[in-house]
């Protein structure tokens, strides 16, 4: 029993986050539609999907910022409906929009959040200095945040979510709108956190999830439509292969012959793209050579998470 007399809900000790038919409705819109997730302790779980898929609504419910219409979830055994204050004590949240006071410096921002979480001044000071050094902002500790770049502000936002050393960290679009260099700096720090705590990352950047996540869930229209490791999700695409050929002198005759053999054949400005369940690399190249085409290069394109998303939802990734 905890100090406030509330017992955690009985749960599987393997999991840090569990959802049970978690649903949120806004008027006639079902934003989150009965999702069931089991996220392991120490796991970095990425929730992918386009804007409007339900990612942020899910995060808001798990962080006790929004009540579910029905269903529930547990965070290390505490129920988000019945024990929201206990949940808030053990989580850290870095939202999409930075929640930083621009007129304060990083130390002052961190001190403000640390004291809100009940840390004493000495503990806040130690934690702040450690985080600033790790995130590469030690030399800017006393500069006003309004002078910071977008990437620096995002790093500070993550530090503010970590100042009270939470067991579970929610990162909602942590690199949204950043340039590649700033994104990579944040990726490097997130990698350092992996295994130390449970992280739920929402993003619509497929490469971000591919690089960082232990497991990935893809959301669309309020539902989790795919779940697995990056490799598992890509393997699900291997029933369909794509070969890309760059060649000169591709004749209409050979194009017609290719289309009689394979499901999809597209030719544009010396590039031939062939897609089918089974492709014979040597047969295709030999056929092109025998037709008089000059093949400059040819390769089988490996599936990506973008391919997985398109395969599952049938739509382009909507940003």
Mean pLDDT of the chain: 90
pLDDT number for residue 315: 60
Given a cut of 60, is residue 293 above it in pLDDT? yes
Mean pLDDT confidence for 84-99: 90
- Sequence spans of domains, the chain: 15-229, 241-302
Q: Return the pLDDT at 12.
A: 64
| Range of weakest confidence among 37-41, 89-93, 178-182 | 178-182
If one counts every other C-beta atom within 10 angstroms of the C-beta of residue 297, the result is: 8
Flag whether pLDDT at 318 surpasses 50: no
Domain 241-302 is found in CATH 3.30.70.100 = yes
Of residues 11 and 240, the one with the higher pLDDT is: 240
pLDDT tens by residue, 137-186: 899 999 999 999 988 998 999 999 999 999 999 999 998 888 888 888 88
CB-based contacts of 205-208 (< 8 A; 24+ apart in sequence): 205/175, 206/48, 206/304, 206/305, 206/306, 206/309, 206/317, 207/305, 208/46, 208/175, 208/183
**Contact yes or no for 237/206 (Cβ under 8 A):** no
Which class is domain 15-229?
alpha beta
Whether residue 115 contacts residue 102, with contact meaning beta carbons closer than 8 Å, is answered with no
98, pLDDT greater than 80: no
Whole-angstrom distance, CA of residue 124 vs CA of residue 2:
24
- Identify which has the larger pLDDT, 196 or 17: 17
What's the whole-number mean pLDDT along residues 103-112?
94
Q: How confident is the model at residue 205 (pLDDT cuts 50, 70, 90)?
A: confident
- In this prediction the pTM is 0.82
Mean pLDDT for the stretch of residues 23-41: 97
Q: Which two tokens mark 83?
A: 């024990």
Task: Please give the share of the chain, as a percent, with pLDDT higher than 70.
Answer: 94
Alpha carbons 311 and 238: distance in angstroms, whole number: 11
Is the confidence at residue 279, as pLDDT, over 70? Answer: yes
In which band, very low, low, confident or very high, does the pLDDT at 5 lie, cut at 50, 70 and 90?
A: very low
Question: Is pLDDT at 37 greater than 60 in this prediction?
Answer: yes
The mean per-residue pLDDT over the stretch 98-122 comes to 92
Q: Characterize 31-59 residue by residue with b for buried, 16 or more Cβ atoms within 10 angstroms of its Cβ, and e for exposed.
A: bbbebebbbeeebbbbbbbbeebbbbbbb
What confidence score (pLDDT) does residue 314 get?
67
Sign for the pseudo-dihedral over CA of 310, 313, 318, 319: negative
Q: Which of 94-98, 226-230, 247-251 has the weakest average pLDDT?
A: 94-98
Indicate if 241-302 has the same CATH topology as 15-229.
Answer: no
* Residue 319 confidence (pLDDT) above 60: no
Nearest Cα to Cα of residue 73 among 9, 26, 4, 166: 9
Query: How many Cβ atoms are within 10 Å of 288's Cβ, its own excluded?
Result: 22
pLDDT of residue 11: 54
Beta pairing, strands 271-276 & 264-268 = antiparallel
Mean pLDDT in residue range 253-269: 94
Q: How many angstroms separate the CA atoms of 79 and 34, rounded?
A: 16
> Is residue 225 scored above 50 in pLDDT?
yes
The candidate with the shortest Cα–Cα distance to 153, out of 182, 191, 184, is: 182
pLDDT number for residue 312:
80
Residues 251, 252, 255, 257: is their CA dihedral positive or negative? negative
In contact, 308 and 236? CB cutoff 8 Å: yes
């Amino acid at each position: 029993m905890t100090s406030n007399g509330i017992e955690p809900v009985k749960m599987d000790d393997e999991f840090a986050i569990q959802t049970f038919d978690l649903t949120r409705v806004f008027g006639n819109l079902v934003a989150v539609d009965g999702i069931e997730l089991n996220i392991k302790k120490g796991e970095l779980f990425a929730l992918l999907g386009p804007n409007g898929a339900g990612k942020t609504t899910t995060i808001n419910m798990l962080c006790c910022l929004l009540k579910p219409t029905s269903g529930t979830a547990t965070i290390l055994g505490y129920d988000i409906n019945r024990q929201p204050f206990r949940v808030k004590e053990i989580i850290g949240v870095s939202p999409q929009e930075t929640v930083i006071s621009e007129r304060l410096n990083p130390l002052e921002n961190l001190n403000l959040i640390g004291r809100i979480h009940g840390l004493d001044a000495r503990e806040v000071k130690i934690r702040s200095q450690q985080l600033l050094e790790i995130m590469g902002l030690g030399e800017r500790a006393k500069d006003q945040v309004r002078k910071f770049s977008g990437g620096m502000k995002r790093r500070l936002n993550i530090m503010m979510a970590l100042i009270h050393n939470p067991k579970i960290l929610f990162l909602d679009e942590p690199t949204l709108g950043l340039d590649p260099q700033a994104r990579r700096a944040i990726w490097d720090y997130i990698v350092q956190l992996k295994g130390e705590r449970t992280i739920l990352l929402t993003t619509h950047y497929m490469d971000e999830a591919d690089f960082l996540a232990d497991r990935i869930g893809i959301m669309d229209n309020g539902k989790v439509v795919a779940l697995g490791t990056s490799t598992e999700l890509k393997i699900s695409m291997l029933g369909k292969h794509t070969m890309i050929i760059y060649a000169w002198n591709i004749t209409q005759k050979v194009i017609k012959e290719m289309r009689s053999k394979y499901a999809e054949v597209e030719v544009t400005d010396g590039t031939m793209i062939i897609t089918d369940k089974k492709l014979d690399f040597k047969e295709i190249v030999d056929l092109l050579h025998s037709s008089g085409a000059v093949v400059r290069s040819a390769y089988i394109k490996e599936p990506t998470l973008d391919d997985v998303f398109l395969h599952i939802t049938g739509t382009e990734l909507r940003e």
